[in-house]
Amino acid sequence: MIRPISGWTLFAIVMVLAFGSWPGFAAPDDKAHGKFSGEYTFYSLSLGDTGPPTKKDTKVNIWMSGSFAAQLYRRLGNESRGESCSEAIEVREKGNLVCSRVRATGEVNCGLGFDLRTGKSVLGMIC
């Protein structure tokens, strides 16, 4: 006898089918700490016109690239589309986390900053 599928079971099946095989959401990526590449710099004032870091004003900008940046971009989702500054790139951003994707090459980079005096995040990328 075939039993009807409950709503929650159907939902679970749909979610597995939808996300289970998507590389960016694959279980191994979620369970282990991954490695990533990038660059960083310390500065004062604000991005776009920085000064040397001082005792009273030190911020760090972290620039992420490679597959980690690509995952961030994908996970931010299309709904977080941001201002691109140029037709050559697509941008996704939430708060101070900003990722840009070069349309021609697919290269993704993400930026996030922190004010080391307060510990709060600051804007990670500018036009």
Partner 1 sequence: MGNLTPDDWRQDISPDLSNLHPDGLILGGLREMGWQGFGDGPLVLDSHPADVGRTPWTVSDASAAARPAPAGPALNQDWTQLPRLDAIEAGEHGSGYYVYGTDDTERIGTAARGQWGRPRTMEVINAVADRLATGDSYTPLGIGNISLPTGGRFPPHRWHQDGLGVDVRPARTDSAQLPVTYRDQQYDRAATQRLIDAFHATGQVDKIYFNDPMIGGVQPSKGHDNHFHVQIKR
C-beta closer to partner 1: residue 29 or 39: 39
| CB contact at 8 A, 72 and 88 | no
| Residue position matching structure tokens 């600051």 | 122
Amino acid at residue number 38: G
Which H or E element spans position 55?
A: none
Asked whether position 85 contacts partner 1 by CB under 8 A, the answer is yes
Candidate list 14, 16, 41, 117; residue touching partner 1; CB under 8 A: 41
Asked whether position 52 contacts partner 1 by CB under 8 A, the answer is yes
If 0-12 CB within 10 Å is exposed, 13-18 middle and 19+ buried, where does residue 27 land?
exposed
DSSP code of residue 15: H
What is the distance between the alpha carbons of residues 122 and 96, in angstroms, rounded to a whole number? 6
- Reduced to 3 states, what is the DSSP secondary structure of residue 100? strand
Applying CB under 8 A, the site for partner 1 has a residue count of: 42
Candidate list 5, 12, 26, 51; residue touching partner 1; CB under 8 A: 51
Candidate list 14, 86, 117, 120; residue touching partner 1; CB under 8 A: 86
C-beta closer to partner 1: residue 25 or 67: 67
Binding mask 90-119 for partner 1 (x = CB under 8 A): -x------x-x-x----x-x-x-x------
Asked whether position 38 contacts partner 1 by CB under 8 A, the answer is yes
